[in-house]
Chains A and B, each alone.
Chain A
Amino acid sequence: MSLKTLAKKTVRALFRNTRSHQKRMAVQYYQGPKYTRLPDDERTQQRLCYFDSSAARQLGKLFSSVQIRIDPAKRFQHWIDTGLHVSRYLPLNGACPPNYDLILSNSIGNLIEENRNKRNKVEANNYELLAHVSRYIHRIIVELDRCVLINGNDANKLLQTRRYFERMLTDRAETLEEAFQRILFWSSLFWQSGHALIGLGRLDKLLQGYPRPEGEELTELISRFYEELHAYYAFKSNVLLGDTGQLIVLGGLETDGSYFCNDLTHAFIKSVMGAHLPDPKVLLRVSDNMPEELLELSLECISTGVGCPLLSNDEIVIPALEKFGYTHEDACNYVTSACWEPFSYGKSVGDSNLAHINFAKCLEETCLDDRFVPARKFEDVEDIFFEKLNLEVDKVFNKLDKIKWAENPLLSLFTEGCRESGKDISEGGAIYSDYGILSIGMANAVDSLFNIKKLAFTGDATISLQNIHDAVRSNYGNEEKCRSILSRSAYFGTDEEEVCTLVEKITGYVSAKLCKFTNSMGGKIKFGLSSPSYVEQGKNVGATADGRSAKEPLSVHVSCKQGVPYTELVNFASRLDYSGNKSNGNVLDFFVSPTFIHSNFEKLMLFMKLSISRGFFQMQLNVVSSDTLIAAKKNPELFPDLIVRVWGFSSYFSDLPEQYKDILIQRALDSEKTA
């Protein structure tokens, strides 16, 4: 290290912890969308919880400053003090559902007792953290008492809530209602302390033993629970509004191969239909032997346009995870990160969307390479592409390798392995400490490569490599004819043998390369074909040889251009190998018009059932017509409740940036022409 950098570093370290520096850092939050987009009643006064070298102590300070907000009219009490911001220098592990079983089947007193001996750092942190939470709960009880006094005779609900908080300290949860209150409280701690994309986990399985009402009353109870989860929508949203990661995972295969579901599975889905809110989101684990009526209910839910449940195919996902190194039991007990990325429930870090491999960028660089134009055969072009891909994967890994995580006592408390190993989750304490990355522009790259193969290397050679090179370099400056030819054909998503072979070759290459890496926590790296940020990342990619102009959005997940039948796309998706480190979320993305789904419901049910046995990995559907979308883009005020599926979550259409709206409109138009 040079003297200059050393000096710089020392000076930075000296000033880093000053309060004025932390205040400057917080401005980003207070001026950002998470805070500014909140409705007035959810925005509280701006206060900072300053950095502390002990993360547990900082959480203690945080909890003691939270403004408690009781609303006597509500069934559940749950709040986030959005103005109270936690100052921190490193990012937090997150993007996962904590396994709330810990706090449902234990009292806090219980847990404190377990950690009393403080045999290692994690136990010491757990002990301290739980003591802070207890004090926070005592403060809540005092606040509830005050409310009871004011509300006099109408205070029954409040008294019940008071009992629930009191029992949190001394008893395990007893009823579904009590369990919901506990989950809401603990999830609020995660949000309050600055975690992102905190999911809810396998709630039907987790809550199956808790006595509960039936029928309407159950749906009503769940609806109230959803209402609470939907509060602080902007605060919980990550990049786009709606990207909250509040995912409920339902159903799924057991270790013995039987399918698990219960009354809660149904009720959670029914309540999504009833609530028609973009948050929380639901994922249903599906399998060949699942009850047909559950699949039917899901399709009904999907057909309302709410964008979920996302279907995750256990027949493919579980073996893929086993091949990744999970035990059969852990593979069967998978949940997903915010959108699609599967991993072991309560035993794993959730950070599965840390970077992406940009296949389109590799393609652009291939076409601009000096060796491109003189290439004599397609294999030469392929070689250049793989060379670029090699560099891209290295680049991604270097990025991952630099990540350092903040100490995280709260998530460590919930994650198996940390207490046992004595290591915080940020240091690799979890049983699985793997990272996940995603892909973008795969379809753009594959379509481009096939254009090159078919047009420039076959007998008639309609277009030369020089044409393609020029078109990419000049962003189709004088090559409109070239563009029209290049954009004509779709390859990615078709079930032609050679297309599947090339895609497998590319994913196989990435997979083999990622196998060689270990992350700083000792975990592996997995990737998937799902692709968020296809708009943002598209801005960094020049023209591609599939007719796409520079800076235009890249392709969306596993989907295809207009004209490819649904069965063909499912065939394509089902032929790909997703096992091992290729299992990080591979979602098939469909657009269906409401008229089509309603007038062909039975046949679409059949299609779904057969698609599961055919073997897709995951599937999500947008059910909305282009007419509606176009009208909503023009007059957003007339469609305040219109929900669509973007990336891997549901969102209000009117909240989306215009470019996303345009992509959705175009895809709706394409699907209507295909069906």
Chain B
Amino acid sequence: MNLDERVLVTNIQRFSLHDGDGIRTTVFLKGCSLYCPWCANPENIRNEVETGSGDAGSRETFGRYLTLQNLYDEVKKDEHFYETKGGVTFSGGEPLLFMEKLVPLLEKFKRDGISICIETSLFGTMESVALACAYCNQIFVDLKILDENQCRTITGGDLNSFLDNLTHVDSVFENLTFRIPLVKPYVTNDENLRKIINLVKKLSHKKVQLIKGHNLAEKKYSCLDKKMYPCPDLTDTELERIARQFTEDGMETEICKV
């Protein structure tokens, strides 16, 4: 199998405990189909090597091209710790953009019995979604803005293609979890939350993780000379109120404070 193909990666995080079941290695791919203003990984939006200015005037480079073989070797290092449930997680950026390229690697992981997980917004082609469903053992799908207009103007995504993808994944895929970044007010406004709840109600998967928004990426934004959306703080009361709404509508809700 040819593992010479190269992909653009910003980071490989070993001993990752929050990106799927068990102990995992998370590969952050560089390149995204959206540009959410609150993005926690702004360095992963553009599919090209970027440089920024770090501390004390030093240059910092984001992204390096690694062959699939490099990725394979790195992920294999912690194989002992994956046991049955853990494994590799592809995050980003939008991993769907790289699905086709990754196929030989995914094939190899599958043969080795290493579980594969992706974190996606599902804004990608139907082909890439089909590939993801075929190779992954676990998928996290972000649910953000469900208003067609706002979705396009704020994040740059085509909501209808997302909904088609979602319906497909929901019907064919087993281990699906929704992740909702609670960004004020874009995601957390009452109308949007209602839309999210109604959507999930219609789907067969009911596992929801509520991610409390944070401003941890501030340094990366300034390094890249980009402006960060200063996400207003969500109080614990608000968080609990939102969580209650989800639970009341029969969803298995988990709060994640990153």
Contact residues of A between 563 and 598, Cβ < 8 Å to B: 565-568, 570-571
Kindly list chain B residues whose C-beta atoms are within 8 Å of the C-beta of A570.
81
Interface string of A589-617 (1 = CB under 8 A from B): 00000000000100100110011011000
Contact between chains at B77 and A607 (CB < 8 Å): no
A-B contact pairs, 19 of them (CB 8 A): A495-B77, A565-B14, A565-B15, A566-B15, A567-B15, A567-B81, A568-B14, A568-B15, A568-B77, A568-B78, A571-B80, A600-B17, A606-B23, A606-B86, A607-B15, A607-B81, A610-B80, A610-B83, A614-B80
Kindly list chain A residues whose C-beta atoms are within 8 Å of the C-beta of B15.
565-568, 607
Q: How far is the CA of A607 from the CA of B14 in the complex (A)?
A: 12
Interface string of A531-572 (1 = CB under 8 A from B): 000000000000000000000000000000000011110110
Q: Which residue of A lies closest to B86 (CB)?
A: A606
Contact residues of B between 64 and 98, Cβ < 8 Å to A: 77-78, 80-81, 83, 86
Kindly list chain A residues whose C-beta atoms are within 8 Å of the C-beta of B13.
565
Contact pick for A606, options B14, B77, B83, CB 8 Å: B83
Q: Which residue of B lies closest to A613 (CB)?
A: B80
Interface string of A481-506 (1 = CB under 8 A from B): 00000000000000100000000000
Cβ of B37 < 8 Å from any Cβ of A?
Answer: no
Contact pick for A603, options B17, B77, B78, CB 8 Å: B17
Q: How far is the CA of A614 from the CA of B81 in the complex (A)?
A: 8
Q: How far is the CA of A355 from the CA of B131 in the complex (A)?
A: 61
Kindly list chain A residues whose C-beta atoms are within 8 Å of the C-beta of B52.
none
- Separation in Å of the A571 CB from the closest CB of chain B? 7
Contact residues of B between 1 and 43, Cβ < 8 Å to A: 13-15, 17, 22-23
- Residues of chain B at interface, number, CB under 8 A: 12
Q: Which residue of A lies closest to B83 (CB)?
A: A610
Q: How far is the CA of A352 from the CA of B2 in the complex (A)?
A: 53
Q: Which residue of B lies closest to A496 (CB)?
A: B77
Kindly list chain A residues whose C-beta atoms are within 8 Å of the C-beta of B22.
603, 606
Q: How far is the CA of A607 from the CA of B80 in the complex (A)?
A: 10
Q: How far is the CA of A273 from the CA of B75 in the complex (A)?
A: 38
Q: How far is the CA of A237 from the CA of B46 in the complex (A)?
A: 59
* 10 tightest Cβ-Cβ pairs between the two chains A and B: A565-B15, A565-B14, A567-B15, A567-B78, A603-B17, A610-B81, A567-B81, A566-B15, A614-B80, A600-B17
Q: How far is the CA of A192 from the CA of B13 in the complex (A)?
A: 54
- Separation in Å of the B122 CB from the closest CB of chain A? 27
- Separation in Å of the B53 CB from the closest CB of chain A? 17
Q: Which residue of B lies closest to A607 (CB)?
A: B23
A residues whose Cβ falls under 8 Å from a Cβ of B: 495, 565-568, 570-571, 600, 603, 606-607, 610-611, 613-614
Q: Which of A568, A570, A603, A613 has the most CB of B within 10 A?
A: A603
Q: Which residue of A lies closest to B80 (CB)?
A: A614
Contact between chains at A603 and B80 (CB < 8 Å): no
- Separation in Å of the B19 CB from the closest CB of chain A? 11
Q: How far is the CA of A571 from the CA of B77 in the complex (A)?
A: 8
Kindly list chain A residues whose C-beta atoms are within 8 Å of the C-beta of B77.
495, 567-568, 571
- Separation in Å of the B243 CB from the closest CB of chain A? 17
- Separation in Å of the A52 CB from the closest CB of chain B? 59
Kindly list chain B residues whose C-beta atoms are within 8 Å of the C-beta of A565.
13-15
Kindly list chain B residues whose C-beta atoms are within 8 Å of the C-beta of A567.
14-15, 23, 77-78, 81
Q: Which of A566, A600, A613 has the most CB of B within 10 A?
A: A566
Q: How far is the CA of A610 from the CA of B80 in the complex (A)?
A: 7
B residues whose Cβ falls under 8 Å from a Cβ of A: 13-15, 17, 22-23, 77-78, 80-81, 83, 86
Q: How far is the CA of A606 from the CA of B22 in the complex (A)?
A: 8
Kindly list chain A residues whose C-beta atoms are within 8 Å of the C-beta of B14.
565, 567-568
Q: Which residue of A lies closest to B14 (CB)?
A: A565
- Separation in Å of the B70 CB from the closest CB of chain A? 14
Q: How far is the CA of A565 from the CA of B77 in the complex (A)?
A: 12
Kindly list chain B residues whose C-beta atoms are within 8 Å of the C-beta of A606.
22-23, 81, 83, 86
Kindly list chain B residues whose C-beta atoms are within 8 Å of the C-beta of A610.
23, 80-81, 83
Q: How far is the CA of A570 from the CA of B77 in the complex (A)?
A: 11
Q: How far is the CA of A613 from the CA of B14 in the complex (A)?
A: 19
Given contacts A565-B15, A567-B15, A568-B14, contact A603 B81 (CB under 8 A): no
Q: How far is the CA of A570 from the CA of B81 in the complex (A)?
A: 10
Q: How far is the CA of A565 from the CA of B78 in the complex (A)?
A: 10
Contact between chains at A571 and B17 (CB < 8 Å): no
Contact pick for A571, options B23, B78, B83, B86, CB 8 Å: B78
- Separation in Å of the B199 CB from the closest CB of chain A? 29
Q: Which residue of B lies closest to A495 (CB)?
A: B77
Kindly list chain B residues whose C-beta atoms are within 8 Å of the C-beta of A613.
80
Q: How far is the CA of A571 from the CA of B15 in the complex (A)?
A: 12
- Separation in Å of the B239 CB from the closest CB of chain A? 16
Q: How far is the CA of A611 from the CA of B17 in the complex (A)?
A: 15
Kindly list chain B residues whose C-beta atoms are within 8 Å of the C-beta of A607.
15, 23, 81
Q: How far is the CA of A567 from the CA of B86 in the complex (A)?
A: 13
Q: How far is the CA of A557 from the CA of B78 in the complex (A)?
A: 22
Q: How far is the CA of A565 from the CA of B75 in the complex (A)?
A: 13
Kindly list chain B residues whose C-beta atoms are within 8 Å of the C-beta of A600.
17
Q: Which residue of B lies closest to A603 (CB)?
A: B17
Kindly list chain A residues whose C-beta atoms are within 8 Å of the C-beta of B78.
567-568, 571
- Separation in Å of the A570 CB from the closest CB of chain B? 8
Kindly list chain B residues whose C-beta atoms are within 8 Å of the C-beta of A566.
15
Q: How far is the CA of A606 from the CA of B83 in the complex (A)?
A: 9
- Separation in Å of the A482 CB from the closest CB of chain B? 16
- Separation in Å of the B257 CB from the closest CB of chain A? 9
Kindly list chain B residues whose C-beta atoms are within 8 Å of the C-beta of A571.
77-78, 80
Q: How far is the CA of A495 from the CA of B78 in the complex (A)?
A: 10
- Separation in Å of the B139 CB from the closest CB of chain A? 20
Q: How far is the CA of A570 from the CA of B78 in the complex (A)?
A: 10
Q: How far is the CA of A565 from the CA of B15 in the complex (A)?
A: 6
Q: How far is the CA of A613 from the CA of B82 in the complex (A)?
A: 12
Kindly list chain A residues whose C-beta atoms are within 8 Å of the C-beta of B81.
567, 570, 606-607, 610-611, 614
Q: How far is the CA of A308 from the CA of B61 in the complex (A)?
A: 42
Q: Which residue of A lies closest to B15 (CB)?
A: A565
Q: Which of A570, A606, A614 has the most CB of B within 10 A?
A: A606
Q: How far is the CA of A613 from the CA of B22 in the complex (A)?
A: 16
Q: How far is the CA of A571 from the CA of B82 in the complex (A)?
A: 13
Q: Which residue of A lies closest to B13 (CB)?
A: A565
- Separation in Å of the B10 CB from the closest CB of chain A? 15
Q: How far is the CA of A611 from the CA of B23 in the complex (A)?
A: 12
Kindly list chain A residues whose C-beta atoms are within 8 Å of the C-beta of B23.
567, 603, 606-607, 610
- Separation in Å of the A494 CB from the closest CB of chain B? 10
Q: How far is the CA of A614 from the CA of B22 in the complex (A)?
A: 16
- Separation in Å of the B124 CB from the closest CB of chain A? 30
- Separation in Å of the A671 CB from the closest CB of chain B? 12
Q: Which of B17, B22, B83, B86 has the most CB of A within 10 A?
A: B17
- Separation in Å of the A634 CB from the closest CB of chain B? 27
Kindly list chain B residues whose C-beta atoms are within 8 Å of the C-beta of A568.
14-15, 77-78
- Separation in Å of the A475 CB from the closest CB of chain B? 23
- Separation in Å of the B26 CB from the closest CB of chain A? 11
Kindly list chain A residues whose C-beta atoms are within 8 Å of the C-beta of B83.
606, 610
Q: How far is the CA of A565 from the CA of B16 in the complex (A)?
A: 9
Q: How far is the CA of A470 from the CA of B81 in the complex (A)?
A: 44
Q: How far is the CA of A566 from the CA of B15 in the complex (A)?
A: 7
Beyond the given A567-B78, A611-B81, could you list 20 further A-B residue pairs with CB under 8 A, ordered by the A residue number? A565-B14, A567-B23, A567-B77, A568-B77, A571-B77, A600-B17, A603-B17, A603-B22, A603-B23, A606-B22, A606-B23, A606-B83, A607-B15, A607-B23, A607-B81, A610-B23, A610-B80, A610-B83, A614-B80, A614-B81
- Separation in Å of the A656 CB from the closest CB of chain B? 29
Q: Which residue of A lies closest to B16 (CB)?
A: A565
Q: Which residue of A lies closest to B18 (CB)?
A: A600
